[in-house]
């Protein structure tokens, strides 16, 4: 066992919600190796088997628990806070007022709290938005989303016409 800190141990992830939100945040959890995760009691059960989770803290949205998370974010060596989609306003405000230097979240109504904005497209699936957050958190490039026209061209390229008409290959 090594006493060296893990590579991303300066990352905290604030998960709002229950099991569903924790499952949708899997790309972010896997990208931030050694991250400290703040989650509800329901969501912690989904985190137990993940080797990328460094520490997990249980909290709820009561004022006393939010103050406890705020103090941990202020006093620990947290350099980055990631708030996965769908984010609640109270968790965004918590990350903002804790004064963490790097705050990552999907753009939208919460762009005031982010130091780095991750572009999101209207109607984007939450897992895709979290995949983009994971790419930014792990310093990888964010690939563009395919448009409907590009998807149609891709499907049209897979079709081939035979003597009897169109057939799918």
DSSP string, 103-143: EEEESSTTTTT-SEEEP--TT--HHHHHHHHHHHHTT-PPP
CB 32 within 8 A of CB 56: no
How far CA 17 is from CA of 14, 69, 84, 87, in Å, comes to 10, 15, 11, 9
What digits encode the pLDDT tens for the residues 38-77?
A: 988 888 888 877 888 888 888 888 899 999 999 988 887 8
For residues 157 and 121, give the distance between their C-alpha atoms in angstroms, rounded to a whole number.
25
Distant-in-sequence, close-in-space partners of 100: CB < 8 Å, separation ≥ 6: 12, 73, 78, 79, 80, 81
Residue 28 pLDDT more than 80?
A: yes
Nearest of 90, 43, 37 to residue 63 by alpha carbon: 90
Report residue 106's pLDDT band, with 50, 70 and 90 as the boundaries: confident
Number of Cβ within 10 Å of residue 80's Cβ equals 21
Does domain 11-168 match CATH 3.40.50.2000?
A: yes
List, for residues 121-138, the tens digit of each pLDDT value. 777 888 888 888 888 888
Can you state the angle between helices 63-75 and 89-97, rounded to 10 degrees? 40
Write down the pTM of the prediction: 0.73
The pLDDT-based confidence of 1 (bands split at 50, 70, 90) is very low
């Amino acid at each position: 066992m090594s006493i060296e800190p893990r590579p991303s141990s300066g990352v905290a992830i604030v998960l709002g919600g229950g099991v569903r939100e924790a499952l949708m945040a899997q790309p972010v959890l896997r990208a931030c190796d050694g991250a400290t995760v703040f989650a509800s009691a329901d969501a912690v059960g989904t985190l137990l088997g993940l080797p990328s989770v460094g520490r997990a803290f249980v909290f709820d949205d009561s004022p006393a628990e939010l103050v406890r998370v705020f103090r941990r974010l202020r006093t620990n060596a947290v350099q980055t806070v990631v708030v996965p989609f769908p984010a609640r306003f109270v968790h965004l405000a918590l990350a903002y007022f804790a004064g963490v230097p790097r705050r990552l979240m999907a753009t939208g109504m919460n762009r005031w709290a982010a130091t780095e904005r991750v572009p999101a497209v209207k109607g984007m699936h939450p897992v895709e938005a979290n995949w983009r957050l994971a790419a930014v958190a792990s310093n990888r490039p964010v690939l563009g989303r395919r448009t409907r026209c590009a998807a149609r061209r891709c499907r049209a390229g897979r079709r081939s016409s035979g003597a009897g008409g169109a057939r799918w290959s």
